[in-house]
Amino acid sequence: MNTLNAADYLPHESPMVLLENVIEVTEETALCSVVVSEQSVLAPFLNARGALPAWYAIELIAQTIGVWSGWHGAQSGESPQVGMLLGGRAIKCSVPEFAAGSELQISVAMVLRDEKLASFEGVICIKRKQDNLQVAQGRLNTYQPDKDELIKLTQGKQE
């Protein structure tokens, strides 16, 4: 797979897209990347040192799940759909922030899935020449509402 633009597979609009590249998508996994830089999509979220606070790890993993879903939908001609993060388990980060200049690689692997619910293990690594340094991990649970459910959730009960 050639590197693709992550924004093409997410229902988000700038500046809320936090990923740049789609490296690989398989039946049960996805791998995306982003550079922590004033020139990247992360620029609005960087602190005074040009670093990204580690608590963004949850959203980076969630958006990688969104890319997985959007890529699979695109194979059937569907546009990206809104998904919901239900929660996370055992989310750990070994650094307080992702340093300026770091290239983050975010991978997700499906643990289970039914029609609307799914659970993914996510890992964030800092890409290095000799190897990748794992700096965050956790399991996220997601829900894919249908159009009627989405309307009820965002606009309230329709009479």
Q: What is the pLDDT of residue 159?
A: 52
Q: What is the pLDDT of residue 157?
A: 59
Report, in angstroms and rounded to the nearest whole number, the Rg of the chain calculated over CA atoms. 16
Whether this prediction's pTM lies above 0.75 is answered by yes
What type of residue sits at position 12? H
Q: What is the pLDDT of residue 146?
A: 83
What type of residue sits at position 6? A
d(CA 11, CA 87): 20
- DSSP code, position 35: E
> 91 near 40, Cβ under 8 Å?
no
d(CA 25, CA 64): 10
Q: How do residues 93-147 score in pLDDT, each as one tens digit?
A: 999 999 999 999 999 999 999 989 999 999 999 998 888 899 999 999 999 888 8
Q: How do residues 57-92 score in pLDDT, each as one tens digit?
A: 999 999 999 999 999 999 998 888 888 899 999 999
Q: How do residues 36-65 score in pLDDT, each as one tens digit?
A: 999 999 999 999 999 999 999 999 999 999
